[in-house]
Amino acid sequence: MTGAGERDPDAPPVALTIAGSDSGGGAGVQADLKTFHAYRVFGTSAVTAVTAQDTRGVHGIQPVDPEIVSRQIRVVAEDLEPAACKSGMLANARVVRAVAEALEETALPNYVLDPVMVAASGDPLLEEDALEAIRDDLLPLCAVATPNLHETEMLLGRSVGDEGEMREAARELVELGAGSALVKGGHMSGDELVDVWSDGDSTRVWRAGRIETGNSHGTGCTLSSAVAAGRALGWELEDAVSSGLHFTRQALATAPGLGHGNGPLNHWTDPRRP
């Protein structure tokens, strides 16, 4: 039993998601909190936008005032002391800069940057003016960035079409300031799925057979929050990435088939622990 203001040594670690709300529950804050829970990590949130969204697409977006976004981050950081955090959908440049300032001020550790730009349905989730802010203000703060191929191409301003270019891209993202980068190959053609991680000095590649499914909504959110959860648990970064890839793959393979479009994943999946 602990008194007010005393942290229970047996309490679960805390993680923070900074992302948009998905009314359909498959992506964004909802997917992140479900993933944290699967890892037995206590989830907190800073909501950056409210979306009217389902498995068929995004039907409306209302960004949250940047000052409220910043205040959410600050109060959670001060009181609950997250051991890791992640960001997803940030909507516009004003929100991006507010998040960057709050992260610098609070010095939250183990920051995972998922540079969400487009929903799986193809609907844009980021205004054009925000790309430069993500590259300049957030990338240098993160321990790991987790862009898919399209997001990688937008950040670097060039095409990325094969494994060799993915390796180069991961290293280039580190040169731009990221602590490390996981370039995800899910959008590349072929039967083999390739994901490439680099911290600038070493590179690791994960290979797996492609899972054919019509239910992949929230894949990027799930992976990045799984990595953050692993770091909150104190795992080494490569172990957290490896577990996150495994968790996401199993969640894809056992997706429940909800909705009439691109359905959500199965967040009841058990994580693989190192």
> What distance in Å separates the CA atoms of residue 255 and residue 263, rounded to the nearest whole number?
8
Q: What percent of the chain has pLDDT over 70?
A: 95
Q: For residue 128, is it within any domain?
A: yes
Domain that holds residue 201: 14-253
pLDDT exceeds 90 at position 265: yes
Backbone phi, psi, residue 75, to 5°: -70, -35
Q: For residue 201, is it within any domain?
A: yes
- Residue 66's H or E segment, with its range, is helix 66-80
pLDDT exceeds 90 at position 267: yes
Q: For residue 38, is it within any domain?
A: yes
Instruction: Give the DSSP letter of residue 140.
Output: G
Report strand pairing: 203-209 vs 192-198: antiparallel
> What distance in Å separates the CA atoms of residue 111 and residue 128, rounded to the nearest whole number?
23
Q: For residue 9, is it within any domain?
A: no
Model pLDDT for residues 41-98, shown as the tens digit of each residue: 999 999 999 999 999 999 999 999 999 999 999 999 999 999 999 999 999 999 999 9
Task: Using pLDDT thresholds of 50, 70 and 90, give the confidence band for residue 5.
Answer: low
Q: For residue 135, is it within any domain?
A: yes
> What distance in Å separates the CA atoms of residue 164 and residue 259, rounded to the nearest whole number?
37
Mean pLDDT (the chain) is 94
> What distance in Å separates the CA atoms of residue 159 and residue 15, rounded to the nearest whole number?
34
Q: For residue 61, is it within any domain?
A: yes
Residue whose tokens read 């239910």:
215
Model pLDDT for residues 11-43, shown as the tens digit of each residue: 999 999 999 999 999 999 999 999 999 999 999
What CATH number does residue 40 fall under? 3.40.1190.20
> What distance in Å separates the CA atoms of residue 146 and residue 254, rounded to the nearest whole number?
23
Q: For residue 269, is it within any domain?
A: no
Q: How many domains does the chain have?
A: 1
Predicted TM-score (pTM) of the model is 0.95
Q: For residue 5, is it within any domain?
A: no
